[in-house]
Chain A
């Protein structure tokens, strides 16, 4: 009887061990890249030039880094070494004013700012000249409830992560509604549904990638609107965690020239990279306030030369990283 019990217990333990190892191998991928090295950081809390009060968005073009300095209601511009160049915007609701700017996107020589409190997308020239406003508050087509991010198609169409409306909208350049993904106001965890989407970006071939924030995953849609794939934790089904390829709220996405996807993994204090099909490549960062550590990373941007810039929200600073493969090659 005792021997039988031991056998059963042994079998159970073996089953558990095999399940754990199998699960780990199945759902926790290994790093496939040499990774990234911390280069420098700049900024501290405050409202002066080069200081931040909640950096929540970042974009790069040419030799300049644009940062959404959210609580200060402004955009700050730096060179790649972190030297302050200029700023524009002030808190408010008018043209040229900003209220809780979030993720940024640069396209066709213009800066697109998702304004969380003003429920709109505001477009600036890169010199800071305000040009136009797209959308207003509401849940009808073409309206927003706290947009978190925006992407621009080559034809000028906008794709907007409409956070509280639980949808992504496609609009013409003049704001005219085209279509949407997700059901307005309805949270869902199945494919094509969202749980507070925070950002969007267009990838190679015109695919649409959505940072499905609180579903802890990335969803990808074909140009015809159909669902293609999703990733983030087991089955991409709102299971969060600290492992490779898992997320704890995705807040920003960017795709580099090679088609590599960079994702800001907010509560895991790191950036993760993936191939276009969602294969995990590497992760960098970690919690803290030292060099190369993040306190809740909100946003990520990649320059033409592969340099990565990240908004280190809790530490009120911007971090600069380089691919180790690039550094070795130099």
Chain B
């Protein structure tokens, strides 16, 4: 039992390290509260439907994405992640790449 607790502590420390070090690169869906499972992406210049729909279409193809909201005035996209899924920043960036979005975009965080 003791050994198990120690293992759990070590495991927790490892998890903490992963979150601190790789936090910006990883969007963790499951363990966080609902409001924390949103990811905001800055998308300057996303005024036209041809660009916006192209990006949204590729983001919806990610298995973990529940909802995509275009925050038009802020030039941002808000991704809502499904409760039991994980979406990595690499997947998000790959979706943008696939959409051929012509301007700079940046994951701002959760």
Contacts and interface: CB of A to CB of B under 8 A. Distances in A.
A213 B57 CA distance: 19
The 6 residue pairs across chains A and B that have the minimum distance between CB atoms? A100-B53, A56-B49, A116-B53, A117-B57, A296-B47, A54-B49
B71 to A, nearest CB: 14
10 contacts: A54-B49, A100-B49, A100-B53, A102-B49, A116-B50, A116-B53, A116-B57, A164-B54, A164-B100, A298-B49
Interface residues of B, number: 10
Interface of B: 47-50, 53-54, 57, 72, 100, 102
A249 interface: yes
A313 interface: yes
A297 B53 CA distance: 16
A314 B57 CA distance: 20
Interface of A: 54, 56, 70, 100, 102, 116-117, 146, 148, 163-164, 196, 198, 213-214, 249, 251, 266-267, 296, 298, 313-314
B57 A163 contact: no
Contacts of A148: 50
A248 to B, nearest CB: 10
B15 to A, nearest CB: 38
B49 A70 contact: yes
A251 B50 contact: yes
A164 B48 CA distance: 15
B50 A213 contact: yes
Nearest to A70: B49
Contacts of B57: 100, 116-117, 146
Given A251-B50, A296-B47, A314-B72, 5 more contacts: A116-B57, A163-B50, A164-B100, A267-B47, A267-B48
Contacts of B47: 267, 296, 314
Nearest to A146: B54
A297 B100 CA distance: 22
B48 A249 contact: yes
A296 B54 CA distance: 18
Contacts of B50: 116, 146, 148, 163, 196, 198, 213, 251
A314 to B, nearest CB: 7
A56 B100 CA distance: 20
Nearest to A57: B49
A163 B49 CA distance: 12
A249 B50 CA distance: 11
Contacts of B102: 214
Contacts of A267: 47-48
A296 B45 CA distance: 12
Specify which of B50, B53, B54 lies most central, judged by the most chain A CB atoms within 10 Å of its CB. Answer: B50
Contacts of B48: 249, 251, 266-267, 296
A117 B60 CA distance: 11
B46 to A, nearest CB: 11
